[in-house]
Amino acid sequence: MPNYAPNYATLAMHSIDVLIKKLAKDLSDGLNPIQLYKRFLDDLFLIYRGSIENLEHFLSEINNLHPTIKFTSSFTCPFPCTFPPGVTHDCFCYSSRSIPFLDTLVTIKNNTLVTDVYKKPTNCNQILFPSSCHPAHIPNNIPLSICFRFVRICSFKHILKIRLDEMKEDLLARGYNKKILDGAITKALDMDRDEALEKREKKSSDRIPFVITYHPALPSISTILRQGWKVMTKDEHLKKVFPQPPMVAYRQPKNSSLRQLLVKSKLPEREKRVVKGMKKCNQQSCNTCPLVRETKTVYSSTNNYSVEINAPVTCETKNIIYVITCNKKECKNIQYIGESGKKLKQRFAQHLACVRSTNEDQKPTATGEHFNMPGHSINNMKVSILEKVTQDSIAYRKIRESFYINKFETKHHGLNRKM
């Protein structure tokens, strides 16, 4: 369950709490039949005083409070049982004298709520093996933790002893040390239940954590740290920095359990889809974007030859073979093919400068001469990359440029003719 799921459940159920209490009053002519109302996330526990008919009606109606949130319910039998104690029978009163709520079994005895440990029928002995890959203090503390929980739950001492004996058998079957179990049970029997039920606030610690990946072959890291801390704090400055020895915090090793191998906490990253073709870079300062022809395939204007662009390319792409096309109908899409190690926008800016130049002494270029013809303008220029060259080599680019000039026939029928 994600960390935020309990918060969502609490927020969702808070509004349901209000509706449930209001419904109970409405069905009881304004009287409040709910004497006790407790909730843990989406599990409800309540004491209802009223007729069994009203209770059954109430439990039926709460499922109409929300279109998707539905409840299952059970309740204790309010009628006295006529069978002698210890006689097994199948009447309603026998099967519903107690109500399970989470890990607690609640029973009414002499108008008092009595609690006992509850185990689901499907429960199997899955307590952590002491031989598992965990620091030694974890399996050593598990018996005392279970005993402390039993002390808090069990209302009577004789019931507590029975549950502790059951726990001992379960842990012995998992390979726990008998001396550790006996010591935990002795401590549990000496505990005062009222003190155990008191709410304890977790004390914060100022000790600096020393985080390390756990391995069963590691020595006692805490002992090493304490010994090093004693030597280190002989220095007055370090004593102020580390007033207490660092606290060891073990990190779980990667792939150290079947769960980690079989169940992933996040989906594997999908390979990003590569869409080949020419696109605009869409930068505000780009003068090339308005004249870019966005396409995946470039066609020759003189024959049936076509080129599938080999990569996703934009005005920002370097090391390229490119084509400039005139879109005037009279020119029949005449083309010019060039190469550049620079970005397309930088090389195309040079072509634009040649078209805009008014210097008569400057040697004319093929594109400059063509797009300065009558009826032509810069807006008739359309540019696209033909190929993203794989090798960063001028000689190789020249070879690829010559290849496309021959395929597109731009030397004889295009703008690559010698001036």
Q: Which range has the top average pLDDT, 58-62, 235-239, 334-338? A: 334-338
pTM recorded for the entire structure: 0.55
Residue whose structure tokens are 């920095």: 241
pLDDT at 323 (0 to 100)? 95
* Residue 279 backbone class (left: φ over 0; alpha: ψ -120 to 50; beta: rest): beta
45: β partners: 38
pLDDT at 217 (0 to 100)? 86
b/e 239-261 (16+ beta carbons within 10 angstroms → b): eeebeebbebebeeeeeeeeeee
**pLDDT higher at 229 or 359:** 229
pLDDT at 340 (0 to 100)? 94
pLDDT at 243 (0 to 100)? 87
Q: Residue 251: which H helix or E strand, with range?
A: strand 247-251
pLDDT in tens, 80-128: 666 676 667 665 555 567 788 888 888 888 778 888 888 888 888 888 8
Mean pLDDT of 149-173: 90
The Cα 69–Cα 22 span in angstroms is 17
**Nearest partner of 277 among 294, 260, 252, 263, judged by Cα:** 294
* CA 189 and chain centroid, separation: 43
CB within 8 Å of 34: residues ≥ 6 apart: 21, 24, 46, 47, 48, 49
* CA 385 and chain centroid, separation: 40
Is the pLDDT at 373 greater than 60? The verdict is yes
pLDDT in tens, 314-328: 999 999 999 999 998
pLDDT in tens, 243-286: 888 888 888 888 777 777 787 767 777 777 788 999 999 998 89
pLDDT at 83 (0 to 100)? 66
pLDDT at 298 (0 to 100)? 93
pLDDT in tens, 18-70: 888 888 888 887 788 888 888 888 888 888 887 778 888 888 888 888 888 88
> What stretches of 242-316 show up as alpha helix (H) in DSSP?
258-262
Alpha-carbon dihedral 110, 111, 115, 118, rounded to 10 degrees: 90
The Cα 307–Cα 256 span in angstroms is 52
Binning pLDDT at 50, 70 and 90, where does residue 299 land? very high
The Cα 39–Cα 174 span in angstroms is 34
Q: Where are the domains of the chain?
A: 5-73, 137-197, 209-262, 277-413
The Cα 195–Cα 314 span in angstroms is 72
Q: What is the DSSP letter of 289?
A: G
